[in-house]
Amino acid sequence: MTYILAIDQGTTSSRAIVFDGDIRPVASAQLEFEQHFPQSGWVEHDPADIWVTTVETCSGALARAKLAARDIAAIGITNQRETTLVWDKVTGEPVYKAIVWQDRRTAETCENLKADGHADLVQAKTGLLLDPYFSGTKIKWILDNVDGARSRAEAGELLFGTVDSYLIWKLTGGRVHATDATNAARTLIYDIHAGEWSAEICALLGIPMAMLPEVKDCAADFGETDADLFGVAIPIRGVAGDQQAATIGQACFSPGMLKSTYGTGCFALLNTGETPVTSQNRLLTTIAYQLDGKPTYALEGAIFIAGAVVQWLRDGLGIIRDAAETEPLAEKSDEGQELILVPAFTGLGAPYWNPNARGAVFGLSRNSGPAEMSKAALESVGFQTRDLLEAMHADFEFGGDTVLRVDGGMTASSWAMQFLSDILGAAVDRPVVAESTAKGAAWLAGMQIGVYPGMDEFAASWEKDTQFVPARGEAWRERRYAGWKKAIAATLSMTD
Ligand SMILES: Nc1ncnc2c1ncn2[C@@H]1O[C@H](COP(=O)(O)OP(=O)(O)O)[C@@H](O)[C@H]1O
Ligand SMILES: O=P(O)(O)OC[C@H](O)CO
């Protein structure tokens, strides 16, 4: 039997999953690591934590699968995107902690770049908005603020990478400095049309191009792991950012197909085919995957708070002990109360992009309790997804009926998935293999070495667990969504 090891290096934990020859998960290991918040709005990871938890989970997953490293035919890597590392080319020592995608320290730099009229150039070349979310201004911050970093970078002594690049560098014992097109597409310095680093944007941000990794397809030769690490050298043959890997794992390979991943936040990606679509509605244009040198593009909408609203009910309000309790609570809630919870805890993402917005609850009465709050929390995720789909429909002609493929921890809630279908007026498909992200990374690596099938056969093997279809009518849907839009308008009106 052939096995593939998928590494899923996420924001709060590292995971490794062993997949068998039929692309089914057989064993996994997961380790959380510390989040550092040195100042308000700053989020950092210790690169050593990222590295150590990755290696330990790989060993842990192999042990649970009762396999040795020699049983693994290839590794696929998927990762939290945008998070930025800079390290010494010779020693491999990072010059600063990893600056995490959520970090807002470069907000002012972005404002200045916008004020100087650079937003159009950046969007035209990279498909992204001038927001601290992406890597480019984070690299600039490190070069500007770490002693000697700029001169060392100019002398060619430092390397930049997103988490995938850093892991490839470490896994290969410093032999390979590479990334894939999907991760490059999140850096703010990659020209997604030309398929190369943008010299113009690098110059604008003062980033020496010698720091940048080689950009490869998602299924490609990323080197072999150092034999000392797991006992034998294992080929690394697949790499994709986590949301793109989920898009691949969900087999969204045709234009108009879309997936939405519900973890802490929610990320929806719509395949738009071989031509990039520039959003008129503040979505991001990104690369869904690149195979055989050919990029396939996507429109992406990011929501910062999805499952995190359920965590807030548990840890902030203390009205539930476990996320799964929201479902029975929502079921027994008072139908007549239509609370609206806008979970703008850290601002609002797409399509509003307002970092200053804060959360609100509308419609409270004396009878409102844990059941109604639970219902409103689960509904808020559906409403936010509807916002993304409205923007996607305005930007792109889907063709045919809309079907949303979902994955991530929150999809365990059938109540939330039914509401999602009701408020979208579209089918919501939950797959048998919930681990879409790791599955996507595994498929890339396995397909590259010829043990997994090509795209068509892989897509045909995608299996549905449950399909949720709208149980509510159009009048209900539009009335509820109108209520949400009013709540958003009221929330935004409080930001000035
Ligand atoms: N049964 C459930 N009902 C509602 N939310 C859930 C349920 N189970 C998990 N969640 C939410 O899903 C999230 C975890 O999903 P996961 O995909 O593991 O996220 P991440 O990878 O971002 O850590 C948590 O925020 C949790 O609140
Ligand atoms: O690690 P996750 O699952 O929170 O995903 C993070 C995203 O890639 C950020 O863009």
Give the span between the Cα atoms of 496 and 6, in whole angstroms.
45
Which residue, judged by its Cα, is nearest atom 9 of ligand 2?
81
Q: What is the pLDDT of residues 158-177, one digit of tens each?
A: 999 999 999 999 999 999 99
Quote the CA–CA distance of 445 and 292 in Å, as a whole number: 14
Nearest CA to ligand 1 atom 21: 263
Residues with CB under 6 A from ligand 1: 10, 12, 263-264, 307-308, 310-311, 323-324, 326, 408-410, 412-413, 416
- 14 Cβ inside 6 Å of ligand 2: no
From CA 323, how far away is CA 453, in angstroms rounded? Answer: 37
- Residue whose CA is at the smallest distance from ligand 1 atom 19: 263
SS3 category, 494:
coil
Q: Which residue has the tokens 């009926």?
A: 401
Q: Is the minimum distance from the CB of 81 to ligand 2 under 6 angstroms?
A: yes
Q: How would CATH label the architecture of 250-431+463-496?
A: 2-Layer Sandwich (3.30)
pLDDT band at 76 (very low <50, low <70, confident <90, very high): very high
> Given this structure, which CATH class describes domain 3-234?
alpha beta
List the one residue out of 127, 449, 118 whose CA is nearest residue 278: 127
User: pLDDT value at position 496?
Assistant: 66
Query: What is the signed CA dihedral for 399, 402, 407, 413, rounded to 10 degrees?
Result: 180
| pLDDT for position 304 | 87
Is beta strand 403-407 parallel, antiparallel or unpaired with respect to 258-262?
Answer: parallel
388 vs 240: CA distance, rounded Å? 23
88-113 pLDDT, tens digit each? 999 999 999 999 998 889 989 999 99
331-355 residue pLDDT tens: 999 999 999 999 998 888 899 988 7
Q: Is 12 annotated as a binding residue?
A: yes
Q: What is the pLDDT of residues 420-463, one digit of tens each?
A: 999 999 999 999 988 899 999 999 999 999 999 999 999 999 99
Report the pLDDT value the prediction gives residue 116, as an integer from 0 to 100.
Answer: 95
Q: Pinpoint the residues of the chain covered by CATH 3.30.420.40.
A: 3-234, 250-431+463-496
Q: Count how many Cα atoms sit within 13 Å of the Cα of residue 470 in the half-sphere of its side chain.
A: 16
Among 82, 128, 243, residue to substitute to test ligand 2 (most atoms within 8 Å of Cβ):
243
CB atoms within 10 A of CB 31: 15
- Can you spell out the DSSP letters for 274-296? TS----SSSPEEEEEEEETTEEE
The arithmetic mean of pLDDT across residues 9-13, rounded, is 91
- pLDDT at residue number 354: 85
For atom 2 of ligand 1, the residue with the nearest CA is 324
Q: End-to-end CA distance of the chain: give it in Å, rounded.
A: 61
Q: What is the ipTM of this complex?
A: 0.97
Distance CA 304, CA 309 (A): 10
Cβ of 101 less than 6 Å from ligand 2:
yes
Quick: pLDDT tens for 248-301. 999 999 999 999 999 989 999 999 999 899 999 999 999 999 999 999 999 999
Q: Residues near 65 by Cβ (< 8 Å), separated by ≥ 6?
A: 3, 18, 26, 27
Give the pLDDT of residue 469.
Answer: 97
Ligand 1 closest atom vs CA 310: 27
Compute the average pLDDT of residues 318-325: 95
Q: Is 278 annotated as a binding residue?
A: no
Mean pLDDT for all residues in the chain: 95
**Ligand 1 midpoint to CA 263 (Å):** 5
Instruction: Map residue 24 onto helix, strand or coil.
Output: coil
Residue 195 CB burial class (10 angstroms; 0-12, 13-18, ≥19): middle
Sheet holding 72-79, edge to edge: 25-32, 13-19, 3-9, 72-79, 236-241
Helix H or strand E segment including 459: helix 455-460
Find, among 354, 434, 420, 353, the residue nearest to 386 by Cα. 420
- C-alpha triplet 338, 346, 121: angle, nearest 5°: 115
Is residue 264 a known part of a binding site? yes
Ligand 2 in reach of 286 Cβ (< 6 A): no
pTM to 2 decimal places:
0.93
Smallest Cα–Cα separation from 296: which of 436, 182, 391, 194?
A: 182
242 labelled ligand-binding: yes
Residue the block writes with tokens 């892991």: 167
Flag whether 64 is marked binding. no
Q: Has 162 been labeled as part of a binding site?
A: no
Tens of pLDDT, residue by residue over 54-71, are 999 999 999 999 999 999
